[in-house]
C-alpha cells in the first residue's frame, strides 16, 4: 500500500514541522511548504535524519499563483493529497486605528484567503476519492480578540468560521475539515509545547468527530 501524503503550508520550527512529524511517524509522506528555500532544505534534512520521507516545495502564502504552482508540483509527484494543513499566518501587532484597509487585506490574504485557495487545490482529487482531510491552525484570539493584535484576531475568527462552514459543506462528500484553536503562545517545554499540540491534529484526523479542538 502506498504512503499517504500530507502537505503543510507554513512549515517551520513551531507548529508546522511538529504536525508534519506526528503524521510522518504514522507512515505519511511529508511535503513542507514555506517561502524560504534554505530553511526548507534544513527542515528536510532533519526529517531525513529521522528516516522520514520528506520534500520541501517553496511557496509564498501571500501569492496565490505561487501556491497553485506548488500544489501542482506536489500532485505531479504524488497524485492525491490526503491531508492538507494550513498553518501560515502573519503574526504582526497593530491597533485597529493604525491599520489601513490595504494592510488589513494584506494580512487577510495570508491568514484566511490563501487558506481557502489551498483548500481549492486539493479538493478535486479528494472529492473524486470521496475522502480527505483539511486542517487549520486556529488561535485563541478568535474568541478573545486583542486590540494590539487586531489583524490576527479578526483573521483567526474568520479562519474558524471558514473551517466550520467548509466542514458542513464537504462532510457529505467524505471530506473532513477541522481546526485546532490554540489558546496560548506555542513554546517548547511548556503546556503549549508544539509536540503536545500536534497530537490534537492527529486526533482530528483519526476521529473525524468535532470540527474544532480547543487546546488550553
Beta partners for 215? Answer: 182
pLDDT digits (tens, 9 = 90+) for 164-201: 999 999 999 999 999 999 999 999 999 999 999 999 99
Q: Quick one: average pLDDT of 138-166?
A: 98
How far apart (Å, rounded) are the C-alpha atoms in residues 197 and 21? 12
Set of cell numbers at residue 193: 509545547
Set of cell numbers at residue 98: 493604525
How far apart (Å, rounded) are the C-alpha atoms in residues 175 and 83? 10
Q: Is 118 helix (H, G, I), strand (E, B) or coil?
A: helix
pLDDT digits (tens, 9 = 90+) for 33-63: 999 999 999 999 999 999 999 999 999 999 9
How far apart (Å, rounded) are the C-alpha atoms in residues 77 and 66? 17
pLDDT value for 1: 55
CB 31 within 8 A of CB 110: no
- Average pLDDT across the chain, whole number: 97
The fraction of the chain above a pLDDT of 90, given in percent, is 99
pLDDT value for 63: 97
Say how many C-beta atoms besides its own lie within 10 A of residue 172's C-beta. 8
Could you tell me the pTM of the whole model? 0.96
pLDDT digits (tens, 9 = 90+) for 16-35: 999 999 999 999 999 999 99
Amino acid at each position: 500500500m502506498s504512503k499517504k501524503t500530507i502537505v503543510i503550508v507554513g512549515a517551520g520550527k513551531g507548529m508546522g514541522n511538529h504536525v508534519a512529524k506526528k503524521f510522518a511517524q504514522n507512515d505519511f509522506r511529508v511535503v513542507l511548504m514555506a517561502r524560504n528555500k534554505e530553511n526548507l532544505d534544513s527542515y528536510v534534512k532533519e526529517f531525513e535524519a529521522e528516516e522520514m520521507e520528506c520534500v520541501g516545495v517553496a511557496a509564498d502564502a501571500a501569492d496565490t499563483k505561487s501556491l497553485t504552482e506548488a500544489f501542482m508540483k506536489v500532485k505531479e509527484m504524488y497524485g492525491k493529497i490526503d491531508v492538507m494543513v494550513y498553518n501560515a499566518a502573519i503574526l504582526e501587532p497593530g491597533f485597529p486605528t493604525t491599520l489601513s484597509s490595504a494592510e488589513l487585506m494584506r494580512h487577510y490574504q495570508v491568514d484566511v484567503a490563501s487558506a481557502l485557495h489551498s483548500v481549492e487545490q486539493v479538493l478535486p482529487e479528494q472529492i473524486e476519492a470521496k475522502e480527505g482531510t483539511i486542517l487549520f491552525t486556529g488561535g485563541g484570539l478568535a474568541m478573545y480578540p486583542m486590540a494590539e493584535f487586531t489583524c490576527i484576531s479578526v483573521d483567526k475568527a474568520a479562519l474558524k468560521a471558514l473551517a466550520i462552514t467548509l466542514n458542513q459543506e464537504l462532510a457529505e462528500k467524505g471530506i473532513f475539515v477541522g481546526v485546532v484553536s490554540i489558546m496560548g503562545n506555542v513554546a517548547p517545554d511548556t503546556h503549549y509545547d508544539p509536540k503536545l499540540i500536534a497530537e490534537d491534529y492527529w486526533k482530528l484526523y483519526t476521529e473525524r468527530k468535532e470540527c474544532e479542538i480547543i487546546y488550553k
